Structure 1
């Protein structure tokens, strides 16, 4: 499991966690410094001392989630296959408490640092996978990483619907057990064969010439 930050028992960490909760429940514009401070058990003055402004506090929230993502990525790279480790569960444990923040922030067009970090890490993984492919991708790596990041985050954004469809909270321990093999199956069994994809790609090219 990932190690907690040394700051996690401090007032600064309590303020950050309270902000993640308020931003997730109320949205950035409606959340207030006073409300966040009350939830964190500190004064508004102490909050401003640590963060200065609501915008800076939001940036700190994003930075915290980016750091958590980097730790999980490093853990996966270090552990390799991670025998006996369900990284869907690891990720759920790390980000589950902040699902509302992630979903709302992304829906509001915020949380750019988190999205951009996921794209960056995705590029690294895709570059390594591409080296082993016999069928070389025709779409630039950067574009695939952007769309891949959006697809990865869609479960957090659509958490309610995915959980309803699978009949289990996908952020729970049981949900991780259900979700992990589904994701593995989807990634290992593409919808299209290389030949079918080539036919559709050729058709796209023909259609674009008639535009």
Structure 2
């Protein structure tokens, strides 16, 4: 029989989770220790094990928490400013801003599968909604495009140091955030390719695929 956790236990659980997000982001999963996480959270290692069982369980809890954060951001943006297909990009970037180090590490270590897949799933409806305003049929499946949008949304955070150096401003600062938002809006509102140019490139791509050994019939 289980009993309800006391409020202080719930507070300790949140502190442990936040400390784990910090340690996993800074040191990576292998180098982070339960003892170090416990010290940052101000609790005993035994309490960490009580709440999460193991380091793997703690990482899974971190991912579950971030997925919840994404869901909340997605719902909030649905009732906010109408900025079309850019909505999931802006929402995702804003939601993950405090956890960029953790997500970057997790993606590099290959442990962010559930988080990335959930972001793709949540982005698909936005892509389908944007399709309604298109004058030409999509050339790629909505899930493929949602995966690309998700990668773009996460990419700036993962490459934060390089992007900051390139634009001359820390992207995590208010000024950097304004520059990124303006840049994203400008890029999304002014396509780099027109419909006719895109069709010519797609036709050339199709011809190249047909001429390749993989495209020949056996």
Structure exhibiting the larger radius of gyration computed from Cα positions: 2
Give the deviation of 1:97 after TM superposition.
2.6
Give the deviation of 1:103 after TM superposition.
0.8
Whole-angstrom distance in 1 between the partners of 2:88 and 2:202: 34
The question of whether the paired residues in 1 share the 8 Å contact of 2:20 and 2:37 is answered with: yes
Correspondence 1:97 to 2:104: no
Structure 1's unaligned 5+ residue stretches are 1-5
2:204 equivalent in structure 1: 203
Give the deviation of 1:113 after TM superposition.
2.0
The question of whether the paired residues in 2 share the 8 Å contact of 1:88 and 1:176 is answered with: no
Whole-angstrom distance in 2 between the partners of 1:153 and 1:95: 8
Bigger Cα displacement from structure 2, 135-144 vs 43-52: 135-144
Task: State the Cα deviation string for residues 163-208 of structure 1 (Å, max 9, x = none).
Answer: 1111111122221111111000111111111111111111111111
1:34 equivalent in structure 2: 35
Bigger Cα displacement from structure 2, 9-18 vs 87-96: 87-96
Change (3 A) 1:115 1:91: closer
Whole-angstrom distance in 1 between the partners of 2:9 and 2:75: 20
Q: How does 1:31-70 map to 2 (within 5 A)?
A: 31-70=32-71
Q: Root-mean-square deviation (CA), in Å?
A: 2.4
Correspondence 1:188 to 2:189: yes
Q: How does 1:56-205 map to 2 (within 5 A)?
A: 56-81=57-82, 94-205=95-206
1:17 equivalent in structure 2: 18
Task: State the Cα deviation string for residues 124-150 of structure 1 (Å, max 9, x = none).
Answer: 101111122111111111111112111
Q: What is the total number of aligned residue pairs between the two structures?
A: 203
The question of whether the paired residues in 2 share the 8 Å contact of 1:89 and 1:176 is answered with: no
Give the deviation of 1:105 after TM superposition.
0.7
The question of whether the paired residues in 2 share the 8 Å contact of 1:102 and 1:157 is answered with: yes
The question of whether the paired residues in 1 share the 8 Å contact of 2:97 and 2:172 is answered with: yes
TM-score normalised to structure 1 length:
0.88
Whole-angstrom distance in 1 between the partners of 2:21 and 2:146: 26
TM-score normalised to structure 2 length:
0.86
1:3 equivalent in structure 2: none
